[in-house]
Amino acid sequence: MAGKDKGSSSRSTTEDESKEESAEYGLIFKRFKKNKVEIASAITKPFPFLMSLRDHDFISEEKFQISRKKCENPDAVRNEVYDILCDLQKDFSLSLLEVIFSPTHLKAYPDLNETVKIFRDDTVETGNNTTVGKSQGKRRKEKGLTWSKAKQRKAQTAQAKNNSRARGQAAVKRRKTKKKPEGSAKTVKRRVPRKQEQNEDFSAALLPVTCGDAKGVLYKDKFKQGISVKSIQSEDGDWHTPPEFEILGGHGGWKNWKLSLRCYNRPLKLLIQRNFLPYPPRTYGKRKKMQNSDECEVCRKGGTLFSCDTCSRAFHEECHIQTVEAEKTPWSCIFCRIQSLESQQSLPESEILQREMVPQEQLKCEFVLLSVYCCSESSFFSKIPYYYYFRETSMGVKKPMWLDLIKKKLRERGYTHVEEFVQDMRLIFHNHRSTFKDLNFGQMGLKLESEFEKNFKEVFAIQDTNENS
């Protein structure tokens, strides 16, 4: 019996450690991905950073020479370091962090000492349990770098296995000798039933639903036709599908309407499980199964693509402005979601620009930007503009701007009003006209600017000046 417990304990320990290391690696990679800007901002000179990456075979000799040439301009060092980190992210390993945050670099670049603190939190959450080498329900926080903790645990595994036999045998003896005190009674915690609110009738044909601050009425006869059918009427009279109502309530990032939409403070998922609501079918009308494209709608290249379930388009995860929720079924791309919006009244541009960046306006801005990316000319404007590296051409530019930076701001919810997004877009084309006098380059900027203005007016229903007069 003891031998069985020992084997079971060893397997359990190995599985827990494997899960823990996997969770830690994912956490460390996520931190690296989110803090590349902070790392790059701390690197103010090429030596010794570039040399260390080359000496540890993270960059080739050719890449080293190219990067060192670019870094002759002190203003270009941080941008070049950021591009290098983006390339290294594709083949990320813990040994990369050991090089980046080596004692030599921490001494040469003092600002790195602040960035390295981001990686010192050694707490990893998985589900309802905290698993960092402690028992269930407990949390451990220790100082030190998380990538070094994973290596230390591997060394400690052998010692833990050697001690498991004695602990297992002792535990068996304790279980055999442990007795229940006489007269003791087993304590049973009774679950207090939740008080039912008045007028809670889940069997009614119309149910009140909420999501955040949004309120509406769900029509069961429409709901049973599928989630692509507009089955919820909001307070202002507009009709929405469940995912659209989730966006209206400010929870569009959840992408899980069954939990975010509630009826009498209960999630719709519970009502579906208890048969108060029909399970929404996954077939959408009589739509024929379509063949998705084998190239990205944005960059027109192949590779690992995510296919839209409601149209034939496909996207790279990075090309699609919004985060691709691959596990969600069905998943609709931004082109399909923008088509599901209700028609809107035409208003002057001045009124549109003053709108706050609520989820619906955020969706429109993301679509306008994605439409610009779909143009072949966008590749010239997506990265840091070339004039940024040459002082003689950037004298008249007060603030550089490029498409990838705007995409980053949108993903991080960095805009509070529509006007801020439009100003950044128009700044790209203004800077381009100021710095490039060549006819070919100028025409390229004018074409892309025209595409932006056209999509902006169509998506936001901008009123023509002729209509206003």
pLDDT digits (tens, 9 = 90+) for 258-301: 888 899 888 888 888 888 888 776 544 444 456 788 889 888 88
For residue 209, is pLDDT > 90?
A: yes
Give Cα 424 distance to the centre of its chain. 22
CA nearest to 261, candidates 289, 227, 306, 225: 227
DSSP 103-154: HHHHHH-TTHHHHGGGGG----EETTEE-SSS-TT-----SS-HHHHHHHHH
pTM score of the predicted model: 0.41
What was the pLDDT predicted at 208? 93
pLDDT band at 168 (very low <50, low <70, confident <90, very high): low
Q: Which comes out higher in pLDDT, residue 136 or 343?
A: 343
For residue 205, the SS3 value is: coil
pLDDT band at 349 (very low <50, low <70, confident <90, very high): very high
Sign of CA dihedral 374, 376, 377, 381: positive
Q: What is the pLDDT of residues 57-90, one digit of tens each?
A: 899 988 888 988 888 888 788 888 988 999 899 8
Integer Cα distance of 325 and 331 in angstroms: 7
Q: Which of 159-173, 233-247, 311-325 has the weakest average pLDDT?
A: 159-173
Task: Read off the pLDDT of each residue in 134-158 and give the average, rounded to a whole number.
Answer: 47
Task: Read off the pLDDT of each residue in 355-363 and give the average, rounded to a whole number.
Answer: 92
pLDDT band at 169 (very low <50, low <70, confident <90, very high): low
The two three-digit tokens of residue 297, written as one number: 């709608």
For residue 406, is pLDDT > 90?
A: yes
What was the pLDDT predicted at 126? 39
Q: Which residues of 53-72 are buried (b: 16+ CB within 10 A; e: fewer)?
A: bbeeebbeeeebeebeeebe
For residue 253, is pLDDT > 70?
A: no
Integer Cα distance of 23 and 12 in angstroms: 16
How open is the CA angle 12-17-20, to the nearest 5 degrees?
125
Sign of CA dihedral 150, 152, 154, 157: negative
Q: 99 Cβ partners below 8 Å, 6+ apart?
A: 52, 53, 56, 58, 105
Q: Which of 92-101, 127-136, 208-217 has the weakest average pLDDT?
A: 127-136
Integer Cα distance of 75 and 384 in angstroms: 12
Give Cα 340 distance to the centre of its chain. 23
Give percent above pLDDT 90 in the chain.
19
Q: How many CB atoms lie within 10 A of CB 42?
A: 22
Query: Rounded mean pLDDT of the chain?
Result: 77
